[in-house]
Amino acid sequence: MEIRNSKERRALVVGLGISGLSTALRLRQIGWTPVVIERAPDRRTGGYFIALFGGGRPPARRLGILDNLSDRTPVGSAQYEFDRAGNRRPGALAYGDLPGSPWMTVRGNVEEAAFEALPDDVEIRYSTVPTHIAQDADGVDVTLTNTADDTSVTERFDLVVGADGLRSTVRSLVFGPHEKYLHRLNYMAVAYQLPGPLSELHPDDGATLMEANRSLWIFPFSGGLQTVLLNYHTDDVDAEFKEPPAQRVRKAFGPEPTGRVLGEVLDAVDTAEDLLFDSVEQTRMDTWHRGRVVLVGDSAWCVSLYAGMGVSMGITGADLLGTMLDRNPTDVRRALAVWEQTLRPHVDVFQQNGIQQRTFFVPANSKELAVRKAMNLGMRIPGASHLLKQMQTSDKAGRLKDRDLALA
């Protein structure tokens, strides 16, 4: 097995998603040499809806990511509520009504913008995973395995950043098994892009279908196809992965007749590319760093898609990490400690918000459905609408979503 050593300040960044790309960008800005590895054989493209909130845009601008991004909400877009019988009525509560002034886009847009901002001299290795991590006071030895040819090499780094998602390999190697840190909310999320327009909805319009413990969201995008988010409750998360996604989704939304809109959406699951089919979970850890190994983004603090802050906090966390390393150039451990101390109080708020906002995405019962209906009606009454929006932005999470948390 080949052993390589270097005297440079080298950082291994595991994961070529938004958090990993943002981390590599920031480390390169402060003079480090990041090496990025990615399990997949190539960079992902396309994807489902995501939101970049107001607080995530300033750090995205500093990293050069925002230069190639914009809010893709269509001008004049309308929002509707459907039911299975085909009835349609104006629906005032849309994703854009969430506090924090979210920009709507798709995952691939943000990843492409971050990739384009990455300097050409940043090394990226595909089909590569860490298989062993051992550290001492001065550095970290990582065994890297190429999954394409099953070869391995051990290299030494000054820092290892796990930005490899909810089921992080870095976390399992250094901190322990997933079961210690993943907290299930007992809901499934299914997200994908539609292959074409729906027969009963204009391509620039959005829609929802709300039922107890089941929901459908349709998000429109200027210059592109609509994307779908399906949510449903489950008492057995593990069972959901024992059958094909399309089969599980049809069972979850049956046995009642689907109606045209839901029927077309469910039909699209069968052929959807880049399908997200996963349980809704949060990552909860007592610490995000150990020695010279640190976790960023969903690996460390997944707040769940119901909080909507995954992208914003991934970019924010990466930007702040670089700032703290730059301020403590000779003491990596201190930099990581101060970074976590600064960021954690805000993540705690967003995780609680993720629990609370589940009712916005998928009401659990008739009472929650009635509350959502009342809010919907209130949003269409001018005086009540203003009051409701004030209530939405008065909570702590709403204020933090619009704040540049990386300015510490």
pLDDT digits (tens, 9 = 90+) for 270-325: 999 889 999 999 999 999 999 999 999 999 999 999 999 999 999 999 999 999 99
pLDDT at 377 > cutoff 80: no
What would the two tokens of residue 150 be?
Answer: 């099953």
pLDDT at 141 > cutoff 90: yes
End-to-end CA distance of the chain: 43
Mean per-residue pLDDT, 228-237? 97
Mean per-residue pLDDT, 324-329? 96
Look at residue 90 in the predicted model and tell me its pLDDT: 87
pLDDT at 122 > cutoff 90: yes
* Distance (Å, whole) CA 43 – CA 45: 7
What would the two tokens of residue 404 be?
Answer: 């540049």
pLDDT tens-digit series, residues 156-177 = 999 999 999 999 999 999 999 9
Alpha-carbon distance values, 69 to 113, 253, 258, 364 (Å): 7, 35, 36, 35
pLDDT tens-digit series, residues 55-83 = 999 999 999 999 999 999 999 889 999 99
Region of poorest pLDDT, from 126-140, 230-244, 360-374: 360-374
* Distance (Å, whole) CA 243 – CA 260: 25
* Distance (Å, whole) CA 386 – CA 233: 33
* Best CA proximity match to 156, nearest among 290, 295, 7: 7
pLDDT tens-digit series, residues 200-214 = 999 999 999 999 999
* Best CA proximity match to 198, nearest among 276, 133, 259: 259
Q: Strand, coil or helix: what is 367? A: helix
Neighbouring-strand partners of residue 219 = 227
Look at residue 319 in the predicted model and tell me its pLDDT: 97
CB 306 within 8 A of CB 360: yes
Tokens 């995952």 belong to residue = 107
**DSSP line for 218-267:** EE--TTS--EEEEEEE-S-TGGGGSS-HHHHHHHHT-SS---HHHHHHHH
Dihedral of CA atoms 282, 215, 277, 108 in degrees, nearest 10, equals -90
Rg (CA), the chain: 22
In this prediction, residue 380 has a pLDDT band, given cuts at 50, 70 and 90, of low
pLDDT at 396 > cutoff 60: yes
Look at residue 92 in the predicted model and tell me its pLDDT: 64
Q: What is the mean pLDDT of the chain?
A: 91
Mean per-residue pLDDT, 94-101? 76
State percent of the chain over pLDDT 70. 93
* Distance (Å, whole) CA 218 – CA 231: 12
* Best CA proximity match to 96, nearest among 76, 113, 112, 68: 76
* Distance (Å, whole) CA 82 – CA 212: 14
In this prediction, residue 225 has a pLDDT band, given cuts at 50, 70 and 90, of very high
Look at residue 407 in the predicted model and tell me its pLDDT: 74
pLDDT at 389 > cutoff 60: no
* Distance (Å, whole) CA 150 – CA 251: 40
pLDDT at 391 > cutoff 50: no
Region of poorest pLDDT, from 116-130, 149-163, 354-368: 354-368
Look at residue 1 in the predicted model and tell me its pLDDT: 33
pLDDT at 137 > cutoff 60: yes
pLDDT at 41 > cutoff 80: yes
Tokens 């990041």 belong to residue = 34
Mean per-residue pLDDT, 220-242? 96
Look at residue 2 in the predicted model and tell me its pLDDT: 37
* Best CA proximity match to 58, nearest among 69, 42, 50: 69
* Best CA proximity match to 221, nearest among 111, 315, 107, 306: 107
